[in-house]
Structure 1
Amino acid sequence: MKKSMVICIIILSLAMNGASPYTEIDPLFKFTELAEAEQLEITGWEVTIKETKQLANREAYVNKFRNQHLVAMTEDENSINYVFEDRNNLDMKIQYNVIIPFHSDEQIELITVITGTEWDENIKRNYTNTIADLKKEMFTPNARIFTCIELIDGGTIESSMIIEHFLSSLELLHMEAQGDNVQSSRLKNIIYGYTPLWNESINLDGIPLNIQIATTELDTGDLKYMIGTPILINEY
């Protein structure tokens, strides 16, 4: 999955609402249930967890990752960025970013990105254990979680029926749909809304939003659905 588009970066700057992002329903589980119900192919999923914390000994914290594979270490005038990878997990890719800013003696930014291209009960169990470990060892309930999934429809079901099932299952409120009038664009439409199934949301003009669904047409004619919460931070 590619980097976010400019519109997503702008939206991310808005205030985010909600209590703990660790709610009873994991959005990824709900998204995979939708895929299975509509017999859609899961071609990718990603969960990004971010938090800025205050730590007295930042270097000691970085050393905790020494048993992981150091992919890169970059430095600019503002910070040092360490990138570690867990290469022992065969079901999914786990990448840790540890950013140490120079403007503060104790601040540290933590970003963990978990990605996969398949989904089954074994992967679900592995993912559940990984999330539990991250909540216990790395993040607090103040962390922000962004979840997205990429689904492909081979044309067996009407697109309108699939979208309707998405909206119904997610109990979507405050819904807004946008089409793309650019003739050469593969993007067919984007739907924004709010689901009460979990707490995390952003506030846009006083309206809470935490679901974004983008539908694009592939060169093969198949439709690709990308569902993200609270928004998509990946290109569609």
Structure 2
Amino acid sequence: METPLGEPVPHQCYAHATEAFDFIGSIENLTSSEDIMTAIAKSFAIFGFENFIITGLPNPRERFEKVVILKKWPIGWFDIYAKEDYVRADPVIRLCRNTVQPFEWSEAPYNRDREPRAAEVMHRARDFRMPDGFCLPIHGISGYEACFSMSGVDLDLPPRAKPALHLMSMYAFERVRQILDPLPCRKVDLLTPREREALVWAAAGKSAADTGDILGITERTVTAHIVSACQKLEATNKTQAVARALQYKLIQV
């Protein structure tokens, strides 16, 4: 991995993101959603995930099954979830609409007594080996809402794994979206050298303060570079900006 200026990034700075970089490399040149689904299943199994879904969040007039982008769900569970319209009661989906931060399913609140349908969703999911999971909310600047939700029985989610999962999930979403609905190519000079450098260090797990120390600039300046990069890439957060910069080959890992 190198900075945009060609300087090597010390291995210890991005050890926590090794899984993400390996995964990104494995799907970078895939050209079908089926191949990406296979790659996701293989890489995410390392963390204990058995099933996953990438889906838009339907508005009140849309059916859930019409906004699903990619899925590896038990057939029986998908049929039940769609038939019962569980998307309207699912506490995981509800939290997705109200946060931009990744979360574990156990962090999605609901009241078992006052929300029997929410309790029913979570209880019935267990029958299909989906007792717990991790979810990435995705919000577009135009109001688009989606999520990447994954589940399993014996999950291995140490704190250092979550940033890697966040980047892996976001890159997978962007890659699938690019295949299904290609975005215009971005010019290599879209970002300034400092903006690219800030994104590279963000991909390596560095905070704005850490990056400022490394580059010899203030934390506020680093944040300004990140914000500017997000605007140019039409990204709603730093991780999405990193994912898009990687996809457009504006930065390298």
Q: Larger strand proportion, structure 1 or 2?
A: 1
TM-score w.r.t. the length of structure 2 is 0.26
Q: Larger helix proportion, structure 1 or 2?
A: 2
